[in-house]
Structure 1
Amino acid sequence: MLNNTLNNVNGMRVAMHNLGCKVNSYEMDVMSIRLKEAGCIIVPFTEKADIYIINTCTVTNIADRKSRQMLHKAKKENPDSIVVAVGCYVETGIDGVKKDDCVDLAVGNNKKSEIVDILNTFLEARGEYDDKTLGGNSIIDINHTNEYENMQLSEMPEHTRAYIKIQDGCNQFCSYCVIPYARGRVRSREMSEILTEIEGLVQKGCKEVVLTGIHIGSYGLDKGEPMLVDLVEKIADISGIDRIRLGSIEPRLITAENTRRLAAIDKLCPHFHLSLQSGCDTVLKRMNRHYTASEFEESVRLLREAFDRPAITTDVIVGFPGETEEEFEECRAFVEKIDFYEMHVFKYSPRKGTVAAGMKEQLTDREKTVRSDVLLKLTKEQSKLYRESFIGEKVDVLWEDSEEINGKKYMIGHTDRYVRIAALEGSERYESAVSGEITTEAVRGFVNSDTLLI
């Protein structure tokens, strides 16, 4: 039972659960660090805790449902605990959050860095506020702020790789997407703060950074002009960083000039996640995407011309409102021609408040599932062929962690193209991999469908 005499978080057991994207993961890592610095004891979410913090997601209806399920699970685990809903689901569903008896406190985006102060205020108030937002002090109007929330990692969440948040918000307003309403407009982090954070993480063993955000191609846009490529060039100058990897970007970033500059950065991984969503122009137009299929294809051509076998991955939505059989076939043929390393396939999910939710000709879940299965089968085949192309070649592997596969222990790592590699315990290769450094080894074959053996 929660000790009702406590008025600060020092000594409290806190369980945390993250849902959603890498931006959420980064923010959860920062919150965890700040809570530990305040004297909290971080425990697994499966254990009984005084405080449960769920970093929520709202990108789909399923994400909303999972957020509610985790909030209810926490309260069921310990009815006397403080259950805190944090993030995107709070922003888009605050009325429902306030009515949910399982939620004690709601914290919006751009307030996560204040988690310790917010919790301490909640404990001190002891029921003074009845709106779950401390009288509006734990949430702001996210759609009318130009302020980037200052957060910084001071510890490595993984052994060798760190996700670095460089911006927040999105100005695109795709017709299906609720994220601009949950994250607000584009707000870029100061470049000097990003570089300082990375320099500090290098001292903790960081070898690879992955630049992440809600729409990283817009980095710098709010300050006058896009500056993502400039940032990558600056990071490359940091001693100790071996790899720089980009998060999801839009094809419009891949111009001839930007590609030339990116190709000149030796530390940049030839792994590009270009967000497609559909390979059919009429569907792209209804989605309010700001490019055509041919423009996307030109971006892929530029990358493949500048980089050796770049790993190009993407997202595709099937079953968008009004998507005909002919439009889907056009999309299927397009993604087959592009030949992605991997596709993340999503069935369209209507989001309240978006333009697409009010469109006519909504497809059935069965129709979406059939189309999803077609693309999932295709990406499985294409992905296997891409991995297979490295068998017999030497690849550079950054080793990360150990894992058991089919009853055997392996050290796991990734190449610069994000191809997953394994070294069997007891082998010479395993011993060299334990150090966590980058090693160059020859690929011998498959461990399983998504992992190669060296």
Structure 2
Amino acid sequence: MKKIAFKTLGCRLNQYETDALASQFQSNGYELVSFDKEADVYVINSCTVTHQSDHKSRNFINQAKRKNKDSVLIVTGCMANNAKDELENRDEINYVVENEQKSSVYSLVDAHFNGEILHPSQLNTDLFSYGSTNKGFHTRSMIKIQDGCDNFCTFCIIPSVRGRASSRPLADILDNVKQNIAKGAKEIVLTGVNIGRYDFKNYKFDDVVEQILNLEGDFRLRISSIEPDGFGDKFLSLLDHPKMTSHLHLCLQSGSEPILLQMRRMYTLKKFKELIQKIRAIRSDFNITTDIIIGFPNESEQDFNATCNIIRELNFGHVHAFKYSIRKGTRAERMPNHVDERIKTKRSEILRSISEETKSNYRKSFIGKEQYVLVEKTDGLNAKGYGEHYIPIEFAGQNIQKNQFYKVLITGIAAGNDPELIGEMIQKKDA
């Protein structure tokens, strides 16, 4: 039995694609091992959104061959598109597979071990030909509904490395969801690059959500990262559905109107705030998480303070903050008045302190309330998982099983920068 190890960087779409590949390899007799162990095959599913992402990807490339110099090393993902020439010139990398061919990584490896010469460019280019994720790394079952983006924000390289927007046929999505539910999936997560812009034969994003919610089965539906301009009132009306989770990751990026305009975002701060108000009018404790870019070109102290103020005002459940990083070929690269790295670092510390405070306050509001937790790890007596608001919860009970729902009473909150909620099991959901 050959061994394979994966390392995934970046977005949930990458996580989904890795899960699907890992499931395919295991279904064909491979043993899945952790990346720090010796393996016959190493697959690095890279990210290139920031310089830090590139740096991490290169570090993992360097680490892989140290474990087994005779292993097959494959680098795929967005860095494989953005830095293809550089990567192909590295002797330790056997194959550089662009996003378009990523779904066929198993075919490439299978051909390699059968002594066949197969270049990645010969692989299938179907963006949606990934199989089931039931043997992947996550209890939650991610479903890819869309790829690529047509927004062309001034800071973003994703349209260059993922291509133009493309939507998966609705029938294929529904079949994929049904298959995963039949295999025991309890939580379905819709993912893609810009899922709110789903458009296939007059079906829109809210049509996809509505039809999935109407499927039979004991499952809940979660939406991964989505642009604030990506949905309308029909989708909002679905947020109160009993199978819909109370969490959305809405990418704000800045709390300054002038900076949003320079970023070429498709909404104003006013529209973003109105959207949050509509969502919380449906469920007052709805968990809104977001992304913030710190130190975008021309960001003044006033702009930065506006961002800090909006984080406090909107009470985000979590803020993923990162320093602006120049991406070659983007409009922002050519902008004047790039912010000094020392200022970015200082602002990062301030913003993270504020976001940790708002996160803690939000999570404390659940003490004394109940959550339905989907268990991801358990020894039978103690368990960890996520509630419907996508907050990590640790709880105790008897005969706790993985991939099952449990009603949990929240009794406290742990210490630390990413504090888990602590609770006690009341009953299994279907008890």
Query: Structure 1 length normalisation: TM-score?
Result: 0.86
Cα distance in 2, alignment partners of residues 403 and 364 from structure 1: 49
Please list, as runs of the form range in 1=range in 2, the aligned pairs for 1:14-163 lying within 5 A after superposition. 14-123=4-113, 134=119, 136-138=121-123, 148-153=127-132, 155-157=134-136, 160-163=139-142
Q: Distance in 1 between the 2:206 and 2:260 partners?
A: 26
In structure 2, C-alpha distance between the alignment counterparts of 1:156 and 1:40, rounded to whole Å: 11
CA displacement 1:83-120 (0-9 Å, x = unmatched): 11112111010110121122121111121221232234
State the 1:135 CA deviation: 7.5
Q: Which runs of 5+ in 1 are unaligned?
A: 1-10, 141-146, 425-429
Say which of 246, 252, 272 aligns to 2:248.
272
Q: Radius of gyration: which is bigger?
A: 1
Matched, 1:451 2:430: no
- Counterpart of 1:184? 163
Which residue of structure 2 lines up, in the alignment, with residue 199 of structure 1?
Answer: 178
Q: 2:264 aligns with which of 288, 297, 310?
A: 288
Query: Distance in 1 between the 2:323 and 2:244 partners?
Result: 32
Aligned to 1:244: 221
Residue by residue over 1:62-94, the C-alpha shift from the partner in whole angstroms, topping out at 9 and shown as x without a partner, is 111111121121122222222111121110101
Distance, in Å, in 1 between the alignment partners of 2:384 and 2:228 is: 31
Q: CA deviation at 1:326?
A: 1.3
**Pair 1:229-2:206 in alignment:** yes
CA RMSD of aligned residues (A): 2.3
1:198-253 per-position Cα deviation (integer Å, ceiling 9, x unaligned)? 22222222111111111111112xx3556221111111122224311111112223
The match for 1:144 is none
- Quote the offset at 1:281 in angstroms: 0.9
Question: Secondary structure at the residue paired with 1:234?
Answer: helix
- Which amino acid is the alignment partner of residue 264 of structure 2? N
Given that 1:50 and 1:82 are in contact with CA atoms closer than 8 Å, whether structure 2 keeps it comes out as yes
Of 306, 316, 321, which aligns to 1:330?
Answer: 306
The 2-side partners of 1:73 and 1:154 are apart by 26
Question: Aligned partner of 1:453: which letter?
Answer: I
- Cα contact 1:345–1:376 (8 A) shared by 2: yes
1:313 pairs, out of 279, 285, 289, with 289
1:346 is matched with which residue?
322
Q: Which amino acid aligns with 1:171?
A: D
Q: Relative to 1, partners in 2 of residues 1:12 and 1:26: Cα closer, same or farther, differing over 3 Å?
A: same
> What CA distance in whole angstroms lies between the structure 2 residues aligned with 1:313 and 1:15?
31
User: Are the structure 2 counterparts of residues 49 and 39 from structure 1 closer, same or farther at C-alpha, using a change threshold of 3 Å?
Assistant: same
Instruction: Write the letter of the residue equivalent to 1:108.
Output: E
Inter-partner Cα distance in structure 1 for 2:208 and 2:338: 42
Q: Displacement, 1:13?
A: 3.0
Indicate the SS of the match to 1:136.
helix
Once the two structures are TM-superposed, the CA of residue 436 in structure 1 deviates from its matched residue by 4.4
Q: Distance in 2 between matches of 1:134 and 1:159?
A: 31
1:212 aligns with 2:179: no
Counterpart residue identity of residue 136, structure 1: S
The residue type paired with residue 392 of structure 2 is R
Taking structure 2 as the reference length, what is the TM-score of the superposition?
0.91
1:417 equivalent among 347, 365, 389: 389
Cα deviation, residue 122, structure 1: 4.2
Partner SS for 1:199: helix
- AA in 2 matched with 1:363: V
Q: Deviations over 1:282-338 (max 9, x none)?
A: 101111111110010111111011223111111110100111111111222222212
Cα distance in 2 for residues equivalent to 1:157 and 1:41? 12
Q: Which residue of 2 aligns with 1:387?
A: 363
Number of residue pairs the alignment of both structures matches: 421
CA separation of 1:398 and 1:37: change in aligned 2, threshold 3 A: closer
Long gaps (5+) in structure 2: 424-431
The answer as to 2:342 corresponding to 1:363 is no
Structure 2 residue aligned with 1:4: none
C-alpha contact (below 8 Å) 2:128/2:144 kept by paired residues: no
State the distance in 2 between where 1:75 and 1:24 align: 22
On the 8 A contact 2:108/2:120 being kept in 1, the answer is no
Distance in 1 separating the partners of 2:143 and 2:134: 12
Partner secondary structure for residue 150 of structure 2: coil
1:160–1:57 Cα change, 3 Å? closer
Which digits, 9 at most, give the CA deviation of each residue in 1:237-272, with x for residues without a partner? Answer: 222243111111122235334312x13422111111
Instruction: Give the distance between the partners of 1:225 and 1:286, measured in 2 at CA.
Output: 32
Instruction: Quote the sequence identity (%).
Output: 34
